[in-house]
Structure formats: C-alpha cells, structure tokens
Amino acid sequence: MTAIYRGMDQAALDAGYNNTTAVSNSSALLQDFEQRSAALRAAHGEHLDLRYGPASRQRIDYFAASQPGPLLIFIHGGYWQMRAKESFSFLAAGPLAHGIHVALVGYTLAPDASLTEIVAEVRASIAWLKNNAAEFGGDPERMIVSGWSAGGHLTALCIDEPGVIGGVAISGIYDLEPIRLSYLNDKLRLNDEEETSLSPLHLPLSARPLTITYGTGELPELQRQSEQFGEARRNLPGKVCPLPQHNHFTILNELAAVDGAITRQVCAMAGMQ
C-alpha cells in the first residue's frame, strides 16, 4: 500500500470521496429529488432557463416569492462534473414559504470547462442576478449564496460578490488537494496552481457571514473538510452546523422543508425571523 493522502492509498482516497457508493440508496434519493423538482417546476414555471451567458448551461431558473424579498442563489453539486440545476428545484420550497426568492444557477461541467472557468461562470450568474433580480421581485442587495457539495465549494468562493450578504455552504469541499489526487481529477484536470488558487481553505477568508453545514452521517473526509474550514473561520462571522443523522443526500431535505434546519439558517441570514 502506498499512502498518497492522510495515510490513504489510492483506493481508500477514491472511496473516501465517493458519495454515491457510500449511500446505498443514493439512486432512489436522487430519483425522488427529480420527481419533487418536476412538481415544483410545474407549479412555478414562469421564469425558467434565463440566460446569463451564451453557453448551453449558462442558465438560471428563478422561482419568485409571492412578494418582494431577499434572494437565495443555489449552486448544485456533482463534483463539478455531474448533475444539473433542474434536479434541485425542489429545494426552493422551503425558502419560498418564508418569502425568500430562489434562483438555481447552471454552469458548464468538467471536462468541457476547467474549474477556473466554472468559478468564473458562477460569478457571472451572480452578477446577472445582481442586475436583473429586481425585475422578478428579488432584492439585489440582499442576496444569499448557497450550494451543496461542489456547490458548497463555489459558495465559499463567491460570498464576496456584489450584493451577496452571506452564504450557506452545505457538505462542501474547501481543500482541493484530495480532489486533485483522486479519481475525480480525471475530468477536472486540476493542476497544482488551481489546487491552491481555488481552495477556499488556502485563500484570504471573507468577513461576510458563512454558515457551514454537513451531515454527521457523511463520509469522514467530507465531515473533516467542513470542520477544518470552520476552524479556519472560527473568528469570523458565521457558524458550523453539523446535522445529526443526515448523509450527503438527505441533508438537502433540511433546505426543502419549510421548518428545515438549513431553511432556518437561510431565514436568519436574510433577516426573516
């Protein structure tokens, strides 16, 4: 056995970041997400696939609340190389019930885009919302950015964008070194420079509030990533919120639910409590 990262060999490292294998019913959970998302999109289909750029996935689904209010921007996960915004529309239900507008952003996936390019696209989507959210009733000066898994990483990188008042990162990746060393880099193709320049843990930390949340039933490496980043930010606004019993997928129900733990964090940050 040749240890390549924190005492793990290649097989152990790859397994340490493979969430779909770690959660035995992940395919059923994802199918449930799809069905619930289709239902929400059918009920709130007025502002889908708004273009913020020319590429096919540079689109935003905007779900407007019943009255003007703050805006939650959600960035989907999938290790920057899988999934799509449409699969996570169901998450809008929780915030919408509290009068918070929700925008889900899409972005080009690796290997069609580098991580540097993906970060630039997400920033561009936030800038588009800053300029256009008011048309749909969203407050461009009260935007909260949130994301799950790879989206948690992108959240941490984007909370200093104009109009963003803070972030809620869910089960995120904050140090890219193990990603570069694992099977995930086959499509990402991270180099040493990107590993450093795009790892939130190794960049100047934002003074804007950031809630870091993860499930206590997640893979140990995912838990460690959140705990380590939370420790780095211990003197900055925000908090670390481990959520008991949840795995990498079920944790999202805490945003979809009206009284979910993550919904409550978003409401508090938006000043809606």
State the average pLDDT over residues 55-73. 98
CATH number for the domain spanning 42: value is 3.40.50.1820
Residue 97, domain member (yes or no): yes
Question: What residues contact 222, with CB distance under 8 A and at least 6 apart?
Answer: 17, 19, 171, 173, 214, 248
Give residue-wise pLDDT tens across range 160-177. Answer: 999 999 999 999 999 999
Which structural domain, as residue segments, surrounds residue 230? 10-270
What is the average per-residue pLDDT within 48-73?
98
Q: Is residue 83 part of a domain?
A: yes
Question: Per-residue pLDDT averaged across 126-146, rounded?
Answer: 98
* Region 129-147 average pLDDT: 98
Q: What band does 132 get if pLDDT is binned at 50, 70 and 90?
A: very high
Express each pLDDT in 17-26 by its tens digit: 999 999 999 9
26-44 tens-digit pLDDT:
999 999 999 999 999 999 9
Residue located via tokens 């990262």: 5
Looking at residue 205, its pLDDT comes to: 97
Number of domains observed in the structure of the chain: 1
What pLDDT score was predicted for residue 273?
Answer: 65
Residue 3 within any structural domain of the chain: no
Residue type, 133: A
Cα–Cα distance measured from residue 156 to residue 147, given in angstroms and rounded to the nearest whole number: 9
> Within a domain: residue 5?
no
Residue 53 lies in a domain: yes
Given a cut of 80, whether residue 54 has pLDDT beyond it is yes
The answer to whether residue 1 sits within a structural domain is: no
Grade residue 1 by pLDDT with cuts at 50, 70 and 90: confident
The mean pLDDT of 65-82, rounded to a whole number, is: 98
Does 119 fall in a domain? yes
Please give the mean pLDDT across all residues of the chain: 97
Residues 113-128: what's their mean pLDDT?
98
In a domain? residue 107: yes
Q: CA of 164: how far to CAs of 57, 158, 161, 191, 225, in Å?
A: 22, 8, 6, 29, 23
